[in-house]
A and B are shown apart, each in its own frame.
Chain A
């Protein structure tokens, strides 16, 4: 197990380096640091202000290798970028100048409060509905279910939010439409509607996906054996098939992991939840490059960690998979 873990983590290193290279290319090569400085400081900034902005961030150094005589070859933008990200120095926001590590730390809690419940509610709904559809498979109800699921996933997420906010919150005047409060029961009041909407948004696509997984499972030999043995339909599905289907579901579920921490761009912004999604939304609106590129790195890091965790869960859940 230990050697497997080490190998798995080592395998992630080149991928992480690739991600760093991509963020570097995007943030320094595609758009030159000078253009970025101009975009942040405004078109009227003096050349001196631009030069100071660049040298403060080390953006005035050579791009990949320092070929200047008398200076170390690694004293360049790229190597500083790698070392900084590797040591979790995410830099400062282009707009507010705040330390991004602090910004992300602060935003993670509200995001998690929103996404974790939404994720579990959504997962439970999707798994139950998918199993029920498999239970009544090849009936009119199943066909209708598939159509409804496809219809639900054809609605863009912002329409769910706009509609949920306008109709439910304004008409019934029950849920607060905007704001956040980090104290006890108050939080719950603010979170109920966003959590419900977020769970609903993903349910269509998930039901469709999980139904396919369960349908594949039901064609297996062990299901026929259990049927021949006289196991009741319901028990067969909700115990035997669910247990085995879960193994395939783990991989699908992990794709959600970065979203859990990074929050939801749209939901958080609409409901005024001060999470990472909202931070990112504002950063996009204000052209805050530093924040956006740091989010890319953080999101990828979380995804890679998630993949490693999946592989471990996979091995633990299914003894047939050898850790080699």
Chain B
């Protein structure tokens, strides 16, 4: 099983499967009349479109790092690293565009120029920041694959069946919600060990609560509308009412929550990696880069480019997601802005 998962083509296939799943879901939702109207409004929203383009750039970079190709000597390398083949590794820190390494006593000439300098291990900072996209996207994507189906399904079930089903589901999420999120995350990760998989699992456990609560409320409102009563009067099964009437009417909330939630997940990844319970050592991660910057800033001369690159890259993605999520919300619900 493990060897199968380690195989590079299986990993590449998984990446594309995940991506086409999300694209397929959005495309199937977009047939809905409400979604089409929202799309028309979104097209006129310039700020929203800019943010969407920003997200697309990050997706592309992350994808290039996720897809791997075999090298001649039996190893493997990501497309992004292959494309940056001309970028050489130095021995230690160097400032952006410097010609010599960062050492007051004995500056050595560098092998090449680096737009954003190099890290402590001599790796190109810009390349590291770009490679960290993959970590952020994997955490956001895998976590969303866990919590979105869970939260939507439980939310609709609780809102539609009410009574003891609702009591049970509300009890479970009120209990989870009463544990401060960061504490729950940290203790789950301490119990399970660090890694991208366990981090997604832990974030999935904490993230579904908000979505479930939202969908439950909206389902309760929708279930009282005449169209649901009519469907029931016509003798449609519960399953049919849930899948073909209720689900399409709450799906836009899921989409908005997905986009806005994604930004929260990216931030959470950075904070958890910073706390030392997140990404395993060696995985390029913005959180780990910011963590390293803590000592770098007190050096003399100050090493600021790692912090700047990681923060800039993280900020760009989170801002794009937040702005795009707001634009989506405006497009779906123009009255409430």
Contacts and interface: CB of A to CB of B under 8 A. Distances in A.
B171 A27 contact: no
Interface stretch (A189-197, A231-239, A294-302): A294-302
A156 B311 contact: yes
B294 interface: yes
A11 to B, nearest CB: 9
A45 interface: no
Contact of A281 (B175, B275, B287, B290): B275
Interface in B23-50: 47
A89 to B, nearest CB: 19
B287 to A, nearest CB: 8
A147 B323 contact: yes
Given A162-B307, A293-B187, A18 B337 contact: no
Contacts of B319: 150-151, 154
A26 B314 contact: no
Contacts of A212: 336
Interface string A132-167: 000000000000001100110111111100100110
Contacts of A158: 270-271, 274, 290-291
Nearest to B172: A18
Contacts of A165: 297
B297 A303 contact: no
Given A26-B191, A30-B192, A150 B183 contact: no
Contacts of A123: none
Interface in A204-232: 212, 215-216
Interface string B41-64: 000000100000000000000000
Given A156-B290, A158-B290, A296 B322 contact: no
Given A258-B180, A304-B178, A153 B322 contact: yes
Give the bracket for the number of chain B residues in contact with chain A.
Answer: 35 or more
Contacts of A26: 187-188, 191
A287 interface: yes
A215 B290 contact: no
B178 A300 contact: yes
Interface string A265-288: 110000000000000110011010
A19 B326 CA distance: 34
Contact of B175 (A18, A147, A155): A18
A292 interface: yes
Contacts of B179: 19, 22, 296, 299-300, 303
A156 B270 contact: yes
A319 interface: no
A157 B171 CA distance: 31
Contacts of B192: 30-31
Contacts, number: 116
B187 A296 contact: yes
Contacts of B270: 156, 158
A186 interface: no
A86 interface: no
Chain A CB within 10 A, most for which of B180, B290, B293, B319: B180
Interface in B285-311: 287, 290-291, 293-294, 297, 302, 307, 311
Contacts of A15: 171, 174-175, 178
Contacts of A18: 171-172, 175
Interface string B157-188: 00000000000000110111011101110111
Contact of B276 (A156, A284, A295, A304): A284
B180 A265 contact: no
B323 A162 contact: no
B281 interface: no
Contacts of B322: 150, 153-154
B144 interface: no
Nearest to B182: A265
A215 B187 contact: no
Interface of B is mostly: helix
A158 B186 CA distance: 17
A129 B178 CA distance: 29
Residue of A146, A157, A158, A166 with most partner-chain B CB within 10 A: A158
B280 to A, nearest CB: 15
A210 to B, nearest CB: 15
B336 A216 contact: yes
Interface in B166-223: 171-172, 174-176, 178-180, 182-184, 186-188, 190-192
A262 interface: yes
Contact of A22 (B171, B175, B336): B175
Given A162-B293, A162-B294, A292-B183, A284 B277 contact: yes
Given A162-B293, A296-B187, A262 B180 contact: yes
Contacts of B277: 284
Contacts of A216: 336
Nearest to A138: B337
Contacts of B227: none
B315 A31 contact: no
A37 to B, nearest CB: 14
A265 B272 CA distance: 11
A156 B171 contact: no
B4 to A, nearest CB: 26
Contacts of B331: none
B271 A284 contact: no
Given A15-B174, A31-B192, 12 more contacts: A22-B179, A26-B187, A146-B326, A156-B274, A157-B271, A159-B307, A166-B297, A166-B302, A265-B182, A287-B190, A296-B180, A296-B184
Closest 7 CB pairs of A and B: A18-B175, A154-B318, A30-B191, A299-B180, A154-B319, A166-B297, A300-B179
25 contacts: A15-B174, A19-B175, A26-B191, A30-B191, A31-B190, A147-B323, A150-B319, A154-B263, A154-B322, A156-B271, A156-B314, A158-B274, A165-B297, A212-B336, A215-B337, A216-B336, A258-B180, A262-B180, A262-B183, A280-B183, A284-B186, A285-B276, A289-B190, A293-B187, A299-B180
